[in-house]
Structure 1
């Protein structure tokens, strides 16, 4: 365990050292400094670059409109996928209204759009950067750019580096960025003596509930540490304010990020004199290294708090991976539940009643066997609800929805079990109280699992020619659509309004084409085409309806008319 204990603190300093050893920080600050001194507030500059090279887009700071200090929902300028991720919780993603206003004015500028278009044509890597509020514009631009790349399926590399930047949005925004796997695209550099920024960050966190996202590199005269856990970032900011050196010119420090960056590599080379001391474990040494880099090690009053902060970073950082290992075991534990339902399906599909899986469960009685299957259904649903809850509470790696093992397991669960959920919904009469399943009855877990599959596979189940029917119907909502089609047939026999009749007939034709296509391609399970299944009964009734009524549209109007065939 000791070796593991040491790694997290050393890695926080190692990450900072790695960043300092690359040209990323120095080049970013060079363009930030240039735009701050040579251009008007609120402007931007794009670095010249040959085809394929890294392009830097730097934003200058700007005076904020004091009338825009409230929080507002993030604008739907972003793509639908990100927008849905930001707003699907009880607490939507909120951002500082003034910052959003500045950003929207920026991206509406033709010059900005033209330059971004040129970058897309020529470069494979882009770095958005900015100082102070320019850093906020860089962050929003990077989010906008990342969300835009989702629609183009581009492999372009996107990074954002900010210096002394305020917080941007609330905790929901932070979580959504983690879920999109974008946390690693952001590096926020904050100087320990930049008291103006540190107090602004604390104030916005307390009064506006703003929350950090991405990685934070805290620089001091002794070095730097890098933290990615948002809770630890907030704690470290509070500690740095407590231990700030009040004898320094803090206004000047807000502009001296170039000096910090220039000294970092040299300072890391000289750390051998503060390395392992005799009698100290590697765990203790890791803490000392990190605290020395943050200039907190010589402040006794805050030393224990700082140690707790780093322990929190380590614990929270390790917890998702530890939970992931446990989840793998739990996934294996629920396999018998799936096997029970699969066995039940095979029995239903072979029964002499020719009802099939869906209809047998829908018409089930109170036998122990079927009660057991229903319990398996509920336990599997609870398992996936818990997985989703853990993801949303950052208790699992934020990229779980990109891992094939879990996406495939969730897909198999959805195709196997959702037909039973639909059967229960209509069996219990919930559709009469709440409305149809697709709009009002579908559990939230299925919407999220749909998104997992879409993110990994562009929404497509692999298509290939089948010689036999699929083991599971490839549209988990197929039976809900059948139930709607059954209702439409009933309605069309009892409706006199011509415009409503036209819509019903169109809906039925559309469903017939969809369902027949699924059957012809054998993308349905054998239970769908059983002689007495709900689908087969609907198909016969729909055929009778078409033979009795001849639909046509009037040449003079769009009204739908029905003539009774003689």
Structure 2
């Protein structure tokens, strides 16, 4: 009995320390929120900004890398989910920090980021599946009918900017090709994200990578090319997006 009580005491201490560490890490997440806000005020968005946030990024990355490794070494009972605060924080971490890793990867000349994706980001897929099965987390992360004047602060797909980087590469390669085919798959991907309010308003900042891609793309496909996506961009109905109004011009 004494041994059992000692084990319980040790386990409780570990859990307590984990929550203390999580509270400390959430301070760094708050710093990153400030970084995002400052970048937006500069009209460029935090993905494209040169503001230094390396300290926060390194601290958060190290913490979640260790958390994933520890979870892998100590598997939970089958069917048991991670505590809700850790699931929620882990998902937010990935959505906030992975874009910075993507930006750094492409600045250093990398290609096909998703194929080379860091292990602890891949591991977060498991956490996301658990989050979807947890009603408390699901309701906390999705908009409700009383909050439809607030645009999302983080992209649902943490690899959104990797897709943007790849289509920018495509545009550079096809710039002088008169027979270049429209990127219908990427168009549909973005349109779906917009229709589900799954990307931030920041992607439409004029000096950002997404709009840089669009300005190149519309030249390549030409003025005669039309699709649901290009009509949204040409007519700038995306300006309604922040108010949770449909951006589709055919509705």
Answer yes or no: is the 8 Å Cα contact 2:113–2:162 preserved in 1: yes
C-alpha distance in structure 2 between counterparts of 1:333 and 1:405, whole Å: 13
Is the alpha carbon distance of 1:322 and 1:490 closer, same or farther for their aligned partners in structure 2, counting shifts above 3 Å?
same
2:131 to 452, 456, 460: 456
Task: Compute the displacement of 1:487 (Å).
Answer: 1.2
Q: Matched residue of 2:222: which SS?
A: helix
Do residues 403 (structure 1) and 83 (structure 2) align? Answer: yes
Q: Which residue of 2 aligns with 1:331?
A: 22
Q: Report Cα offsets for 1:49-98 as digits up to 9, x if no partner.
A: xxxxxxxxxxxxxxxxxxxxxxxxxxxxxxxxxxxxxxxxxxxxxxxxxx
Partners of 1:495 and 1:458 in 2: how far apart? 47
Note closer, same or farther for the CA distance 1:326–1:421 as it changes in structure 2 (3 Å cut): same
Q: Partners in 2 of 1:492 and 1:463 — Cα distance?
A: 39
* Aligned equivalent of 1:493, options 167, 175, 179: 175
Distance in 2 between the 1:463 and 1:340 partners? 24
Counterpart-to-counterpart distance in 2, 1:483 and 1:405: 32
Shift of 1:7: 6.8
Is there any run of 5+ residues in structure 2 with no aligned partner, and where? 227-251
Change beyond 3 A, Cα 1:386–1:454: same
Q: In structure 2, what is the Cα distance between the partners aligned to 1:397 and 1:349?
A: 40
Q: 1:384 aligns with which of 25, 45, 64?
A: 64
Q: TM-score, normalised by structure 2?
A: 0.75
Matched, 1:534 2:214: no
Alignment of 1:306-321 (within 5 A): 315=7, 319-321=10-12
1:454-533 map, 5 Å:
454-457=129-132, 462=142, 466-493=148-175, 505=182, 508-533=183-208
Aligned twin of 2:115: 439
The secondary structure found in structure 1 opposite 2:17 is helix
Look up the match of 1:357.
Answer: 46
Rounded Cα–Cα distance in structure 1 between residues aligned with 2:223 and 2:175: 11
Shift of 1:548: 6.2
Paired residue for 2:33, among 309, 327, 342? 342
Partners of 1:416 and 1:523 lie apart in 2 by: 14
> Residues 374 and 400 from structure 1, CA distance in 2 versus in 1: closer, same or farther, beyond 3 angstroms?
farther
Rounded to whole Å, the distance in 2 between the matches of 1:380 and 1:402 is 19
RMSD of equivalent CA atoms: 3.0
Query: Residues 358 and 423 of structure 1 are in contact (CA less than 8 Å); yes or no, is this contact kept in structure 2?
Result: yes
Q: Is the 8 A contact 1:425 1:437 kept in 2?
A: yes
Report the CA distance shift for 1:330/1:443 in structure 2 as closer, same or farther (over 3 A): same
Alignment partners' CA distance in 1, 2:29 and 2:90:
11
Mapped to 1, the partners of 2:15 and 2:167 lie a distance apart of 42
Deviations 1:535-566 (A, max 9, x none): 01111221221116869xxxxxxxxxxxxxxx
Distance of aligned partners of 1:550 and 1:536 in 2 relative to their CA distance in 1, 3 Å threshold: closer
Aligned to 1:27: none
Q: Which has the higher contact order (CA 8 A, sep 6+)?
A: 2
- What SS class does the counterpart of residue 409 from structure 1 fall into? helix
The count of corresponding residues between Structure 1 and Structure 2 is 218
TM-score by length of 1: 0.35
Secondary structure of the residue aligned to 2:47 is: helix
- Structure with more strand by fraction: 1
Structure 2 distance, partners of 1:550, 1:385, is 45
Matches within 5 A, 1:120-519: 315=7, 319-351=10-42, 354-360=43-49, 364=50, 370=52, 373-394=53-74, 401-429=81-109, 431=110, 435-440=111-116, 442-457=117-132, 462=142, 466-493=148-175, 505=182, 508-519=183-194
Bigger helix fraction = 2
- Give 2:246's aligned residue: none
The structure number with the bigger radius of gyration is: 1
